[in-house]
Amino acid sequence: MKTGLEYAIHLDEQDSLSPYRDEFYVSEDTIYLDGNSLGLLSKRSEKAVLTVLNAWKNHAIDGWTDGEYPWFYLSEKIGKEFAPLVGAKPEELIATGSTTINIHQLVASFYEPKGKRTKILADELNFPSDIYALQSQLQLHGFSPTEHLVQVKSKDGNTLHTEDIVDAMTEDVALIVLPSVLYRSGQILDMKTITQAARERGILIGFDLCHSIGSIPHFLSEWGVDFAFWCTYKHLNGGPGSVAGIYVHEKHLSKIPGLTGWFSSAKDKQFDLEHELTPAQTAGAYQIGTPHILSIAPLIGSLEIFSEVGIEKIREKSLQLTDYLINLVETELRDFQFELSSPREDSMRGGHIFLTHPSAASICKALKAEGIVPDYRSPNGIRLAPVALYNTFQEVWKTVQTLKAIMIEERYKKFENTRGVIA
């Protein structure tokens, strides 16, 4: 097993994606391993934002139809750019809203309790915002979340078993909403198998792709996933609060969304300003209000990079990076109470690894003091995300060596073992 610095240098020299590091604002004084929470700014995104700002400055109201990126069609343009990343058709995609707003939109559209089918199936490891939204939607329908939100249990507190999810698809389940990648452990769920099982039982199913889009390939249309949603500020590098995305399978595109607004309209009818909605016959119907133009602009630049590189090459390097990181952890940190809580198998591991340790919070603070940016997750988790587009194998090597020194010299004991305001 090769883990030395010479091997890291060799891997960097062989890396076909290494030129893209210069596309991003990377601080040479910092090793940034938190791209699964907030990706770095690319120079192309910066340029796109300035271009859109200039359109506002130079065209004012006419920026909706004039300029390099007319605002009226920008959500659809970005939607098309999502297509190769999620395995869907352009008309099934739209850039709109935020993750939680889009959950509300999609559940309001697809949760139709009838007879004994009244429950929503989720899991106990999902990000809290998803659960809050599902609880809220149940309450709006007059159902108790305690009784009608079923959450698949984890046997180890970090991962889920496909058979447990399928077993929970009982006759009283009306809708399933699951993550594609678990935000803590980085486990990839078997979306194809789970979707097939849901279809066989006549249950609609949707996935939260926040921790997978831009990191792993998807085949949503082929698998028959009914809907999906995601943020764009993690692996897609769209910036803080950048506009999110929605996928709706083409078989549902004639359905009127549960929440409508004037941007739900067919584009050619929108400015007729009639009180009877003529919804778009695309995923554009799932928009509600006016697009957040300045928050969608960075995606013009960032998605251009993804289009050039291709998700397959990104996935290939991502697996190399996390595999190298795991090998280093297992050889260099085996004496310091760290536990790898991410799947070891490539097919089950997303774009980050998850280590647990009793002193995780103070260790994260010690790493930041050394110029390495990890991500702490309560109560005892450390997420490390080497991103294919801008991280190097040498950075991975240095991170583990620094972490080893922190443990040997007990530098972490200088810090309180509590999280900061933002983990």
**Residues making up the binding site for pyridoxal 5'-phosphate:** 99-100, 127-130, 208, 211, 233, 262, 290
What are the binding residues? 99-100, 127-130, 208, 211, 233, 262, 290
102, HSE (Cβ side, Cα atoms, 13 Å): 30
Residue type at 128? P
Token pair of 73 as six digits = 């069609």
Q: CA of 33: how far to CAs of 28, 234, 290, 396, in Å?
A: 13, 11, 34, 9
- Alpha-carbon span 340 to 352, nearest angstrom: 11
- Alpha-carbon span 343 to 114, nearest angstrom: 38
- Alpha-carbon span 375 to 35, nearest angstrom: 9
- Alpha-carbon span 167 to 152, nearest angstrom: 9
Q: Is residue 53 a contact partner of residue 294, using CB atoms and an 8 Å limit? A: yes
- Alpha-carbon span 222 to 83, nearest angstrom: 12
What residues contact 383, with CB distance under 8 A and at least 6 apart?
34, 36, 37, 184, 186, 352, 353, 354, 374, 375, 376, 377
Beta bridge partners of 24: 42
Strand order across the beta sheet in which 375-377 lies: 339-340, 353-356, 381-384, 375-377
Token pair of 108 as six digits = 């309001």
What residues contact 203, with CB distance under 8 A and at least 6 apart?
121, 169, 173, 174, 175, 176
